[in-house]
Structure 1
Amino acid sequence: MMKLDGIAAFIATVEETSISAASRRLGLAKSVVSERLAELERSLGVTLLQRSTRKLTLTSAGQAFLSRAQRVMREIEEAAAEVDASAGKLAGPLRISAPVGFGILHLGPAITRFLKDNPAIEMSLELDDNFVDAATGGFDAVLRHGAIGDGRLIARRLARSRRLLVASPNYLVNRGAPVALKDLEDHSGILYANRSGDWRFAVGTGWSVVRPKSALRVNNGIVMRDAALAGLGLALLPSFFVHKEVREGLLTVVDIGWPAEGAELFLTYPRDHGAAAKIKALSESLRASFGDPPYWDIL
């Protein structure tokens, strides 16, 4: 008969890529995790993991079992969370992924507030500028900036964000300030590597696309902001990256007569995550911390 602690050991081992790391995550001795894995395999009558001195590899049976095991454990965790929520208490683990730049600039105080209000929650926050699949990445929820477009996910809106075309005052003195869309093609652009190189502006009832010359491509908004501050070129950035620099006059908002495409911040999680009481509470707390309109859009 399968035991839940064996399933938990299996999932932790796969996600952490080693028994040693899984034992640290679970707070157990390495020998205990190994025995629970062996007991799970005996109960199933198959080998789930191929073990060698260098690495662990999922067998075909292990691969088939993994997604269902993760779903079962999520449902159990959420069922327990619902019971806690009905009793006025939220508790247990909560693993979140978020973009690096936004996490550094804005998540710290907001997460601290949430955890002070819910001291029994054990949060793990991982910052990553690469695409993280909220449905299969092993996280309870993923904070996203931009459109979701994934039917597997539930998306809870946290806040909106304007995108601002900005440059340093020195850059604009040296290169001249663009005043129309066509002018942008003659300027250097600091571009986000994880998006296409296009800049989109709302023109009338449609969209106009500009493809600036690239001075720098990078997958981090803070580095883009710093490049703009150094006078490397124009940058089209969410206001949450540049609101302080704009207020202080270190960056100038460039007005070309049309607003740039905006975006929204969402907390996303798989549809099979059950009631997700902890995620709902986190999204409500983050919305309260960011404000409506969010404090970074009050320039």
Structure 2
Amino acid sequence: MFKLEGVASFVAVVEAGSISEAARRLNLSKSVVSERLAELEKAMGANLLRRTTRRLSLTEDGAAFLERATRILHEVEAAATDVAERRGTLAGSLRISAPVTFGRMHLGPAIYPFLARHPELELSLDLDDRRVDAATDSYDAVVRHGPLESSRLVAWQLAPSHRLLVASPDYLAQMGAPATLAELQQHRGIFYANRGAADWRLHGPDGTEIARAAVALRVNNGDMMRDAAIAGVGIALLPTFIAGDAIRQGALAVIEVGLRAEPESIYIAHPEGRRVSARLRAFAECVRTAIGSPPYWDAWAQARGEGAGT
């Protein structure tokens, strides 16, 4: 008779595309996952996966088994969750993807007390700035910053987000503080590398303007963009959840040119049509409550009697 852990390993390998990646997601060794697959195939009396030196693929029997195996796992997990929720506890696994900087700066501190209160909950938090597919990559939900891009996702807003042009006071004292779009374009910029373009999209009463600047630095990490701006490398367009503390402390100054970046959102999104567990709802509410309304990182703006995005 096959074991449920073997079924779980089989589904994980198919979803991950390799035994090593499935082992990482399951927090198991590669040898354990391989053993479980071998035991499952022996119990089934059929080869479920076709193995070559370069890739794994489903056999005909494996493809026929996969859909039911996935459904079995979901039903077992849902049943276990229902039992736990009847006892008033949150239990089971939760797999979330989130951006690196937001996860480190804000998500971690929000969820540590949450996890301490719910010891039967097993959270896998994958910090990665790439745009993962929640459905195909087997995430329960993704935390993201910016516009919602996939129509296959159902999003809940965690907080509004605003990006501001900032630079160090020393840089502005030396190079001059730009007050117009034309002056802004005479400066050097710090840009997010994955967006490619060396420009800023800014909005005003007359529509969208594109401000282009010479590149001082491209980097695919918000922490480094902020630190480079503090060091006087140039001007950066940063969300206030990254730059807020530095603005409050005076390490960065906000640049006003009569235009602003379009408001965005920090949101958590789950695949459309998937059953939403109580633990996912509780996770989202925990993060939303910890951030507050308005977000705590915009306290510098509230103290000065202004909105971060106005």
Letter in 2 for 1:241: I
**1:223 counterpart residue number:** 224
SS of aligned partner of 1:186: coil
Number of aligned pairs?
A: 295
TM-score (norm 1): 0.86
**1:81 counterpart residue number:** 81
Contact kept? 1:179, 1:255, Cα under 8 Å? yes
* Deviation (angstroms), 1:13: 3.3
Contact kept? 2:2, 2:40, Cα under 8 Å? no
**1:25 counterpart residue number:** 27
SS of aligned partner of 1:129: coil
SS of aligned partner of 1:273: coil
**1:129 counterpart residue number:** 129
Contact kept? 2:99, 2:144, Cα under 8 Å? yes
Supply the distance in 1 between the matched residues of 2:279 and 2:122 (Cα, whole angstroms): 11
Tell me: CA distance 1:35–1:59, structure 2 relative to 1, closer, same or farther (3 Å).
Answer: closer
Supply the distance in 1 between the matched residues of 2:219 and 2:68 (Cα, whole angstroms): 37
Q: Aligned ranges for residues 149-164 of structure 1 at < 5 Å? A: 149-164=149-164
Contact kept? 2:155, 2:270, Cα under 8 Å? yes
Q: Which has the higher contact order (CA 8 A, sep 6+)?
A: 1
**2:147 counterpart residue number:** 147
SS of aligned partner of 2:80: helix
SS of aligned partner of 1:298: helix
* Deviation (angstroms), 1:121: 0.3
Tell me: CA distance 1:118–1:205, structure 2 relative to 1, closer, same or farther (3 Å).
Answer: farther
Tell me: CA distance 1:195–1:79, structure 2 relative to 1, closer, same or farther (3 Å).
Answer: farther
Tell me: CA distance 1:295–1:213, structure 2 relative to 1, closer, same or farther (3 Å).
Answer: same
For the pair 1:253 / 2:259, whether they are aligned, the reply is no
**1:178 counterpart residue number:** 178
Tell me: CA distance 1:5–1:236, structure 2 relative to 1, closer, same or farther (3 Å).
Answer: same
Higher mean Cα deviation, 11-20 or 95-104? 11-20
Supply the distance in 2 between the matched residues of 1:212 and 1:67 (Cα, whole angstroms): 52
Supply the distance in 2 between the matched residues of 1:92 and 1:78 (Cα, whole angstroms): 9
Contact kept? 1:78, 1:273, Cα under 8 Å? no
**2:39 counterpart residue number:** 36
Higher mean Cα deviation, 238-247 or 188-197? 188-197
1:106-165 deviation line (CA, Å, top 9, x unaligned): 122111022122221011111112221212122221110011131211111111111111
1:211-246 deviation line (CA, Å, top 9, x unaligned): 322211111100111111111110000001111111
Higher mean Cα deviation, 221-230 or 111-120? 111-120
1:67-107 deviation line (CA, Å, top 9, x unaligned): 77556534543453244334322101111111111111112
Q: For the aligned residues, what is the CA RMSD?
A: 2.9
Supply the distance in 1 between the matched residues of 2:74 and 2:206 (Cα, whole angstroms): 44
Supply the distance in 2 between the matched residues of 1:189 and 1:152 (Cα, whole angstroms): 35
1:20-76 deviation line (CA, Å, top 9, x unaligned): 96397358945741333424763xx45324155xx6522465578667755653454
Contact kept? 2:19, 2:33, Cα under 8 Å? no
Contact kept? 2:17, 2:56, Cα under 8 Å? no
Supply the distance in 2 between the matched residues of 1:137 and 1:20 (Cα, whole angstroms): 11
Supply the distance in 1 between the matched residues of 2:176 and 2:21 (Cα, whole angstroms): 58
Supply the distance in 1 between the matched residues of 2:59 and 2:162 (Cα, whole angstroms): 46
Contact kept? 1:6, 1:39, Cα under 8 Å? no
Contact kept? 1:167, 1:228, Cα under 8 Å? yes
Letter in 1 for 2:267: F
Contact kept? 1:161, 1:238, Cα under 8 Å? yes
Structure 2, unaligned stretches of length 5 or more? 301-310
SS of aligned partner of 1:132: coil
SS of aligned partner of 1:194: helix
Contact kept? 1:189, 1:234, Cα under 8 Å? yes
**2:245 counterpart residue number:** 244
Supply the distance in 2 between the matched residues of 1:36 and 1:22 (Cα, whole angstroms): 16
Q: Aligned ranges for residues 1-299 of structure 1 at < 5 Å? A: 4-14=4-14, 15=16, 17-18=18-19, 22=23, 25=27, 29=32, 32-39=35-42, 42=45, 45-50=46-51, 52=53, 57-59=56-58, 61=60, 69-70=69-70, 73-74=73-74, 76-195=76-195, 197=197, 198-204=199-205, 206-299=207-300
Supply the distance in 1 between the matched residues of 2:190 and 2:63 (Cα, whole angstroms): 41
1:234-272 deviation line (CA, Å, top 9, x unaligned): 000000111111111111111112222221111112123
